[in-house]
Chains A and B, each alone.
Chain A
């Protein structure tokens, strides 16, 4: 198991290398540093200001090969900084990117953690409920509702939720954020609700399929023959045996919770990492965007490793080697 994790980490390092290479191609080869500088300093800035800005942000070095000092190129610099998590300053307003990350992680987590926990609880319960009533009209209605819910774009849920709850019923503010514990829930209520609604259809349908397939197995029939109650069968036998496909879906998302949700945050005005990404697009802040893509990939790879490890916890037959 330990050896497996070490090997997995070694392999993910190769993937991280690929990600960094791709980022280099995108941000240093396809985009011209002169363009970045011009966008940051201004169209009519004097050439000295442009040069100075490029020097400050490390865009003045040769891309691949520097005859005087082979280690002093943009390629080497890019790899070194990303691998040591030294992200430098924003291209747009020179604030250290680390400070931004720290300020954004809190609000992001305060939205994504409740969303993740509640979402998992509700979708699993609904999935079990629908599976309990399988092959009846309740089940059919459930599946139809799920398909309807899946077909609607998230964007519409957000607008609908804001309109109905904040405008018509006036229960909660339309958007905004305040980290003090007393009022934070008021601002998070609608985003969490909308987030729940927008993926309930997808997940419930998936869980239902898994549960129904599992409840046709022989061991379930045996349990029923021995007089086990239907509810107990679902929770103790079916749920436990369907954990592997469920974990495949769920565990990958856990590390990415820190990144928050781009859509929900930017729409509801929550100053998390998702909003920072959107701001970076609008401000042509290439350095911040680069960092976000890199961190996102790292967390995603971490999630995949965690998924594999989590299999061994729920299914003793799985052995990683």
Chain B
């Protein structure tokens, strides 16, 4: 399976989940009111969020050259076989490149002063290979979305499964799972992350898996504690007295009552993961094309003279 298909699937699944949540939220009055309140109080934050997701999505709906056989805007044969996303199509990519550095909005090259192909059109300048910085930044949004999305999709089910099972059944099962949790928790997370990536190999999926393996522990602990509490509540006891099976109690009475934790963790881990990816990229084991990798590349420019500052922004 192609890498772009996988990443499309992840992002589309995220979007689907979001849409489903929105649609089901519209049905209840409490949610409608909450939504209206959000729109009124935090319009800017909401707009930024929507734009960000939209950029990620535009870049995710990649398809292999629609005009296969014809001439693409890029105009050469390579681009016919590579999947190009909506954002790629917004920028006429092949011709959009320059030879080397250029400052934002400049119409000449930074060194030497040769005229550019597209004077004044690089809003954030270009990097050493003449790639447009704005274009790369927009591309990075998708990688961030992918890391956050894919990894939380690993973290949350894993943590829920282990946490609920440990908390609900107790006894030996609890001991075993808690042993696993405390073992993982007693290893410094950055070191464990590095070891995992080194062992699994480098690549976007591996990085997400490693982040997932190190990330679920803390949340599983919270879930376990909460389940221990819920298990003793009256309505759970009542369900058990009525003869409900363990599966039914867990799925219908315990998991729904953990959902507020899931939502909070989802949001917090999402942003935390994007930052951890930046740290990993910076150690040279991250994902190509992410924001972290851009920072990593830009740091080399510091020692150079004159400074290519627009790559750092």
Supposing A155-B295, A159-B312, A281-B285 touch, asked if A286 and B198 sit within 8 A by C-beta, the answer is yes
- Which residues of A sit under 8 angstroms from B182, Cβ to Cβ? 15, 18
Residue of B nearest to A285 (CB): B198
Binds B, one of A25-33, A80-88, A241-249: A25-33
- Which residues of B sit under 8 angstroms from A18, Cβ to Cβ? 179-180, 182-183
The verdict on A48 contacting chain B, using a C-beta distance below 8 Å, is: no
Query: What CA separation (Å) do A186 and B312 show in the bound complex?
Result: 25
Question: Do residues A281 and B179 form an inter-chain contact, with CB atoms below 8 A?
Answer: no
Residue of A nearest to B197 (CB): A281
A116 to chain B: closest CB distance in Å?
A: 16
The verdict on A199 contacting chain B, using a C-beta distance below 8 Å, is: no
B99 to chain A: closest CB distance in Å?
A: 26
Supposing A18-B179, A167-B307 touch, asked if A263 and B186 sit within 8 A by C-beta, the answer is no
B92 to chain A: closest CB distance in Å?
A: 32
The verdict on B267 contacting chain A, using a C-beta distance below 8 Å, is: no
The verdict on A300 contacting chain B, using a C-beta distance below 8 Å, is: yes
- Which residues of A sit under 8 angstroms from B292, Cβ to Cβ? 155
Binds B, one of A130-138, A211-219, A288-296: A288-296
Per the 8 Å Cβ criterion, residues 271-304 of B in contact with A are 275, 278-279, 282-285, 292, 295, 298-299, 302-303
The verdict on B192 contacting chain A, using a C-beta distance below 8 Å, is: yes
Question: Do residues A153 and B275 form an inter-chain contact, with CB atoms below 8 A?
Answer: yes
The verdict on B106 contacting chain A, using a C-beta distance below 8 Å, is: no
Per the 8 Å Cβ criterion, residues 1-48 of A in contact with B are 14-15, 18-19, 21-23, 26-27, 30-31
Question: Do residues B183 and A159 form an inter-chain contact, with CB atoms below 8 A?
Answer: no
- Which residues of A sit under 8 angstroms from B191, Cβ to Cβ? 262, 277, 292-293, 296-297
Per the 8 Å Cβ criterion, residues 259-310 of A in contact with B are 259, 262-263, 266-267, 277-278, 281-282, 284, 286, 289-290, 292-293, 296-297, 300-301, 304
The verdict on B9 contacting chain A, using a C-beta distance below 8 Å, is: no
Question: Do residues B295 and A301 form an inter-chain contact, with CB atoms below 8 A?
Answer: no
Query: What CA separation (Å) do A22 and B283 show in the bound complex?
Result: 23
A87 to chain B: closest CB distance in Å?
A: 15
Question: Do residues A262 and B285 form an inter-chain contact, with CB atoms below 8 A?
Answer: no
Question: Do residues B284 and A282 form an inter-chain contact, with CB atoms below 8 A?
Answer: yes
Interface size class of B (residues with CB under 8 A): 20 to 34
Supposing A153-B278, A155-B278 touch, asked if A289 and B194 sit within 8 A by C-beta, the answer is yes
The verdict on B199 contacting chain A, using a C-beta distance below 8 Å, is: yes
Query: What CA separation (Å) do A262 and B292 show in the bound complex?
Result: 16
| Pick from A15, A162, A267, A277: contact of B183, CB under 8 Å | A15
Residue of B nearest to A256 (CB): B188
Question: Do residues A266 and B195 form an inter-chain contact, with CB atoms below 8 A?
Answer: no
The verdict on A154 contacting chain B, using a C-beta distance below 8 Å, is: yes
- Which residues of A sit under 8 angstroms from B195, Cβ to Cβ? 23, 26-27, 289-290, 293
- Which residues of B sit under 8 angstroms from A259, Cβ to Cβ? 188
Supposing A26-B195, A263-B282, A289-B198 touch, asked if A297 and B188 sit within 8 A by C-beta, the answer is yes
Residue of A nearest to B276 (CB): A153
The verdict on B105 contacting chain A, using a C-beta distance below 8 Å, is: no
A126 to chain B: closest CB distance in Å?
A: 23
Query: What CA separation (Å) do A155 and B282 show in the bound complex?
Result: 8
- Which residues of A sit under 8 angstroms from B279, Cβ to Cβ? 153-155, 263
- Which residues of A sit under 8 angstroms from B307, Cβ to Cβ? 163, 167
Question: Do residues B199 and A30 form an inter-chain contact, with CB atoms below 8 A?
Answer: yes
The verdict on B222 contacting chain A, using a C-beta distance below 8 Å, is: no
- Which residues of B sit under 8 angstroms from A27, Cβ to Cβ? 195, 199
Question: Do residues A278 and B186 form an inter-chain contact, with CB atoms below 8 A?
Answer: no
Question: Do residues A31 and B302 form an inter-chain contact, with CB atoms below 8 A?
Answer: no
B116 to chain A: closest CB distance in Å?
A: 26
The verdict on B128 contacting chain A, using a C-beta distance below 8 Å, is: no
Per the 8 Å Cβ criterion, residues 144-169 of A in contact with B are 153-156, 159, 162-163, 167
Question: Do residues A300 and B302 form an inter-chain contact, with CB atoms below 8 A?
Answer: no
The verdict on A174 contacting chain B, using a C-beta distance below 8 Å, is: yes
Supposing A27-B199, A30-B199, A266-B283 touch, asked if A174 and B190 sit within 8 A by C-beta, the answer is no
Question: Do residues B302 and A174 form an inter-chain contact, with CB atoms below 8 A?
Answer: yes
The verdict on B249 contacting chain A, using a C-beta distance below 8 Å, is: no
The verdict on B14 contacting chain A, using a C-beta distance below 8 Å, is: no
Q: A153-B295, A290-B195 given; name 16 further pairs at CB < 8 Å.
A: A15-B183, A23-B195, A155-B279, A155-B282, A155-B295, A162-B302, A163-B302, A163-B312, A256-B188, A262-B194, A281-B283, A281-B284, A289-B198, A293-B195, A296-B187, A297-B186
B residues in contact (CB < 8 Å) with A: 179-180, 182-184, 186-188, 190-192, 194-196, 198-200, 275, 278-279, 282-285, 292, 295, 298-299, 302-303, 307, 312
What are 5 of the A-B contact pairs (CB < 8 Å)?
A22-B184, A22-B187, A153-B278, A281-B283, A292-B191
User: Which 9 residue pairs are nearest across A and B when measured between Cβ atoms?
Assistant: A18-B183, A296-B188, A297-B187, A296-B191, A293-B191, A26-B199, A30-B199, A293-B195, A31-B199
